[in-house]
Amino acid sequence: MKFPNKVTSYKESVLAKFPIVLTTLKNEDLTPQELYKKVKSKVSNIQEYIEILDCLYILGKIELLETEEIHYVERNTL
């Protein structure tokens, strides 16, 4: 997992990709496959995509619904 440090810039880290995924989920819930199709041009590979989802889930920003769709939790408070 790439975090910003002396060698890896913020722009190259997974943290920089959080807004890309969250913006995509802002208006609708998507399955992991649908979400990947929408963001795959902005992430390096599937491994990085999974790392981004892992981090966002651990931080409580996304959740997996019973319908197997990813939901942006912050959308509930808007």
- Annotate 43-53 with b (16+ C-beta within 10 A) or e (fewer): beeeebbebbb
pLDDT of amino acid 12: 87
- The ranges assigned to domains in the chain are 10-77
Give Cα 38 distance to the centre of its chain.
11
pLDDT of amino acid 8: 87
As beta bridge partners, residue 63 has 71
Give per-10-residue mean pLDDT for the chain (78 aa): 87 93 95 97 95 96 95 76
- What is the β-pairing status of strands 70-72 and 62-64? antiparallel
Residues 10-77, CATH architecture = Orthogonal Bundle (1.10)
Burial of 17 (0-12, 13-18, 19+ CB in 10 A): buried
pLDDT of amino acid 18: 96
pLDDT of amino acid 77: 60
pTM recorded for the entire structure: 0.88
